[in-house]
Amino acid sequence: MTTTVACIALGSNLDLPEGDSAWILREAVRRVHAAQAVRVTAASSIHRTAPVGGPTGQREYLNAVMVVETSLAPRVLLDLLLAIESGLGRVRDAAVRNGPRTLDLDLVLFGDAVIDEPGLHVPHPRLEERSFVLRPLLEVQPLAINPRTGRALASALRSCSPEAVSVCGNLGVPP
């Protein structure tokens, strides 16, 4: 069975009764790892960052990236990620773009695939603009390339506007 290495960005700035944003990110990794045909192979540190866009007054976000090996097709993997978001309290409000959320899981890279389908764009269209994704991604995939542009993502990070980022924990890989 052929497997593909995919990178998934995680973000959270709302808590649940079961746990805070760090717990939510770790629980998302656990649920992805427990899914059939998916294995988490690496996970970045957890980064605390200011919100980008969206309504004013939001809490800071916790962001991270996990690397998975999967035999799932990209759309099936995305559907799994959306189900995990929903299971961890994510409510999508079309009227509020970049609003607060319990969990955001973005499929940012899927091997060297370039995919443009309704609701599925890989690599993530704003990947090279988001240092809150690039920093943790480069921790776990330091030589990553954007397959759409052929640009090294380390170079893209140097072009991003600087943001205050602090490492505030480890995501961890399930056993």
Amino acid at site 23: W
Query: Is residue 148 flagged as an active site residue?
Result: no
Query: Is residue 90 flagged as an active site residue?
Result: yes
Query: Is residue 20 flagged as an active site residue?
Result: no
Residue among 26, 31, 90, 130 flagged as catalytic: 90
Residue among 48, 104, 130, 135 flagged as catalytic: 104
Distance separating alpha carbons of residues 13 and 102, to the nearest angstrom = 6
Distance separating alpha carbons of residues 155 and 165, to the nearest angstrom = 18
Query: Is residue 106 flagged as an active site residue?
Result: yes
Residue among 26, 31, 48, 101 flagged as catalytic: 101
Structure-block tokens of residue 13:
């700035």
Angle in degrees, CA 26, 75, 93, rounded to 5? 65
The enclosing H or E element of 33 equals helix 21-34
Residue among 31, 106, 130, 148 flagged as catalytic: 106
Terminal-residue alpha carbon distance, the chain: 22
Catalytic residues: 90, 101, 104, 106
